[in-house]
């Protein structure tokens, strides 16, 4: 073994994919209800994305960000267009990096906008914001701050509710960072009225609202961004997972133009290949949404999930989430790993979230047949535990 031992991997690897189906080296097929943790928004070997990648690869993969990069400008414009208001984008390679950028933007704003520097960022309990030292500290779960990696970046605190966030705003607070639907923390969606109240409160004090849409953005919950569903316009939004259709890309978009030259950068961020793939992905997803197909697929998936919930009242207690970011909460958390392993054996991929939630993040264009077959396999898997 030449790999670091940082992942507990399942004993399977895949060789190719088609639609929402993966194939291992023996040709066994797996219906994918996980999409590489929400990355493969259009499934595998999508024609438009593949074509855009091949076309770009034949021309140019990468130049430095010290030169103009046309696909990057186009993708920034497309994001702003799909948001419906003006934003400035910075491209990077991952969700954690997008959040690092958001944190730096907030700190610069906190330094230049107020007479006395503000720097503190409040996040929510059970949140997840990434694996770098700053985003780990922003993550509102103590298990992500073990002593082995100390000391962590300072200037963060987390609160267990929106009320507590509002009450905890201090003279040092500059921003609140929040996942409107918590991906790793149990697929928990915040209450709309509470979020609107938070947004208003921050606006009143000229503080920033950062929504981490790394998992819940890019049509995952039915709209381009989940903040649209919540009827708010955050000051900063971060993206990654679904944005590149499988090619690594992250983005931090801001309504205010805060950085000046030299403040931030990335060698690879927003290169020709990643942005070409991102553009093709966004255009396909927009079509899927406009045609009404996305809504239909989500409704179908949701009703199958309702069926599963009512078929196993001893196993599951409730359903959570929005659109195609869904979770089933287990009555007995010791069943979580058993169900995931049995599902793998039966040819369907599902994820966990938190301690007790079975998480579903299927490709957004998953076919009716794949949904039907996937749930049939899932039932068989649950019957076998």
Which residues of this chain interact with ligand PLP, rule CB under 6 A?
A: 94-96, 99, 128-130, 179, 183, 212, 214-215, 240-241
Q: Considering the complex, what minimum distance in angstroms separates the CB of residue 327 from ligand PLP?
A: 13
Tell me if 79 sits within 8 A of 242, measured CB to CB.
Answer: no
Rounded distance between C-alpha atoms, residue 177 and residue 165, angstroms? 10
Q: Considering the complex, what minimum distance in angstroms separates the CB of residue 292 from ligand PLP?
A: 27
Among residues 99 and 173, whose Cβ is nearest to ligand PLP?
A: 99
148 Cβ contact partners less than 8 Å away, ≥ 6 residues apart: none
Q: Considering the complex, what minimum distance in angstroms separates the CB of residue 33 from ligand PLP?
A: 17
Among residues 179 and 235, whose Cβ is nearest to ligand PLP?
A: 179
Among residues 216 and 285, whose Cβ is nearest to ligand PLP?
A: 216
Q: Considering the complex, what minimum distance in angstroms separates the CB of residue 206 from ligand PLP?
A: 25
Q: Considering the complex, what minimum distance in angstroms separates the CB of residue 309 from ligand PLP?
A: 24
Rounded distance between C-alpha atoms, residue 304 and residue 296, angstroms? 12
Please, what is the angle between helix 70-83 and helix 272-290, to 10°? 30
Among residues 103 and 169, whose Cβ is nearest to ligand PLP?
A: 103
Q: Considering the complex, what minimum distance in angstroms separates the CB of residue 19 from ligand PLP?
A: 23
Among residues 212 and 304, whose Cβ is nearest to ligand PLP?
A: 212
Among residues 87 and 99, whose Cβ is nearest to ligand PLP?
A: 99
Among residues 179 and 356, whose Cβ is nearest to ligand PLP?
A: 179
> Residue number with the shortest CB distance to ligand PLP?
95
Q: Considering the complex, what minimum distance in angstroms separates the CB of residue 107 from ligand PLP?
A: 18
């Amino acid at each position: 073994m030449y790999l670091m031992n940082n992942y507990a991997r399942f004993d399977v690897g895949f060789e190719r994919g088609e639609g929402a189906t993966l194939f291992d080296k023996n040709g066994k097929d797996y219906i994918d209800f996980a999409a590489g943790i929400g990355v493969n928004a259009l499934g595998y070997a999508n024609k438009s994305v593949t074509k855009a990648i091949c076309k770009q690869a034949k021309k140019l993969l990468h130049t430095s960000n010290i030169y103009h990069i046309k696909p990057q400008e186009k993708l920034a414009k497309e994001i702003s267009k799909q948001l419906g208001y003006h934003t400035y984008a910075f491209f990077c390679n991952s969700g954690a990096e997008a959040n690092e950028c958001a944190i730096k933007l907030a700190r610069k704003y906190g330094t230049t906008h107020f007479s006395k520097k503000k720097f503190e960022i409040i996040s929510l309990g059970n949140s997840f914001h990434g694996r770098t030292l700053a985003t780990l500290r922003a993550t509102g779960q103590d298990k992500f701050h073990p002593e082995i990696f100390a000391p962590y970046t300072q200037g963060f605190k987390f609160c267990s509710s929106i009320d507590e966030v509002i009450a905890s705003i201090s003279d040092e607070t500059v921003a609140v960072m929040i996942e409107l639907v918590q991906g790793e923390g149990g697929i928990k969606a915040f209450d709309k009225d509470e979020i609107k109240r938070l947004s208003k409160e921050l606006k009143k004090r000229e503080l920033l609202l950062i929504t981490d849409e790394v998992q819940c953005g890019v049509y995952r919950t039915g709209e381009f961004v989940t903040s649209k569903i919540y009827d708010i316009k955050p000051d900063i939004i971060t993206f990654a997972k679904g944005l590149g259709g499988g090619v690594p890309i992250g983005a931090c978009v801001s309504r205010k133009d805060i950085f000046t030259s030299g403040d931030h950068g990335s060698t690879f961020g927003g290169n020709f290949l990643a942005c070409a793939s991102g553009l093709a992905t966004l255009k396909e997803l927009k079509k899927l949404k406009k045609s009404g197909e996305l809504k239909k697929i989500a409704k179908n998936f949701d009703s199958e999930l309702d069926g599963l919930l009512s078929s196993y009242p001893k196993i599951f207690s409730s359903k959570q989430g929005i659109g195609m970011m869904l979770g089933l909460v287990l009555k007995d958390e010791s069943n979580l790993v058993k169900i995931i392993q049995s599902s793998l054996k039966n040819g369907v991929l599902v994820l966990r979230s938190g301690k007790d939630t079975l998480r579903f993040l299927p490709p957004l264009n998953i076919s009716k047949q794949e949904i039907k077959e996937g749930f049939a396999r899932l039932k068989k898997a649950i019957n076998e535990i």
